[in-house]
């Protein structure tokens, strides 16, 4: 489990560094760069929410938690 989290942490860090470097070194106007950054942030937030929802469902299945009790809490 630790190895998976270490890998994911490294993947996220590497992605952020790579994206930042790519954005800073490309010849775009400031407005275009800001729009691109905002789009990528929105995509990352959506992906994070989706991953969290999938993990929640996986944990509910593993723990045998009924769906009704989770949504009522």
Q: Count CA atoms within 13 Å of residue 55 on its CB side.
A: 6
Q: Is residue 1 part of a domain?
A: no
Cβ count within 10 A of residue 52: 10
Read off the pLDDT band of 72 (50, 70, 90): low
Q: Is residue 47 part of a domain?
A: yes
22-64 per-position pLDDT tens digit: 877 878 788 888 898 899 889 989 998 999 998 888 888 888 8
Distance CA 25, CA 21 (A): 6
Q: Is residue 17 part of a domain?
A: no
Q: Is residue 53 part of a domain?
A: yes
Q: Is residue 55 part of a domain?
A: yes
**Residue-number span of the structural domain to which 45 is assigned:** 28-61
Look up the pTM and report it. Answer: 0.52
Q: Is residue 33 part of a domain?
A: yes
């Amino acid at each position: 489990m630790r190895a998976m989290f270490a890998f994911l942490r490294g993947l996220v860090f590497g992605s952020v560094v790579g994206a930042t470097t790519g954005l800073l070194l490309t010849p775009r106007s400031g407005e275009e760069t800001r729009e691109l950054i905002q789009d990528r942030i929105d995509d990352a937030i959506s992906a994070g929410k989706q991953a969290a929802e999938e993990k929640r469902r996986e944990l509910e299945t593993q723990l045998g938690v009924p769906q009704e009790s989770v949504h009522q809490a």
